[in-house]
Structure 1
Amino acid sequence: MEQKVLNEVFVAKVNDLPEKLGRTVHVGELELAIFKLESGEIRVIENRCPHKGGVLAEGMVSGEHVFCPMHDWKISVVDGKVQEPDVGCVQTFEVNVKDDNVYVFVPEK
C-alpha cells in the first residue's frame, strides 16, 4: 500500500482569521475553506459543496458546521460529512497551529 506524502503549508495567521466566518485560501491547485470556530479551533475543508459547488467559505458557521450559501446544506467542518437528509462529503485537511501561524497538511504532487 502506497503511503501519501503530506506537505505542511502556511495558510494564515490565527489572529487574522475572523471567528465563525470562513476564508478562502489556495494551496497549489487546491481551493480550501479555513474556519476559526467559536472554541478557537481552526478547521480546513474543501471549499466547494458537493451538491452544486457552492463556496463554503461564504457560508454561515454554527458550532462545528457550515451551511452552504447556495442551498443551505449543513456540512461538518470536523469530518466533512453532509448532514441528513442530504448526502455527500467534502475532504477535510489536518491543521497544525504553531505560535500564531496556521499550517495545513496537503498531499504532495
Structure 2
Amino acid sequence: MLAVIGLIIGIVIALMWQPDLPPWLQPYLPIMIVAALDALIGAWRSSLEHTFSDRVFAVSFVSNVVIAAIIVWIGDLIGVGSQLSTAVLVVLGIRIFTNAASIRRQVLHA
C-alpha cells in the first residue's frame, strides 16, 4: 500500500512540476518505462504467489531499467539503436504478458 501511495504522490508531483527531459535521454525513456513496467508486473505476480521480496523488487526494478538503457546505448554506439530498442521491447513485452497471464490465472482461478 505504501508503494501505491508513493506512486500516486510521484505522479501528482510530476504533473504539477512538469519537468523537462534532456534531449539526450529522450530515446531511452520508452525503454526505461517498459523495463520498469516489467518489474512492477513481476512484483504483482510474486505478491499474488506470496513470494514478494522488497529487496528483490528494488534490485529488479533498477537493474531492468539500467540494463535496458545500456543495451539501447550500445546499439546507438554501433549504429543499430532502433533494432536493439525493438529487441528489448519484444523481450520485455513477452515477460510482461507472461506475468499478466499468470496473474489472470491466479485471480480468476482458471
Output the TM-score relative to the length of structure 2: 0.27
| Structure with more of its chain in helix, by fraction | 2
Structure of larger gyration radius: 2
Output the TM-score relative to the length of structure 1: 0.27
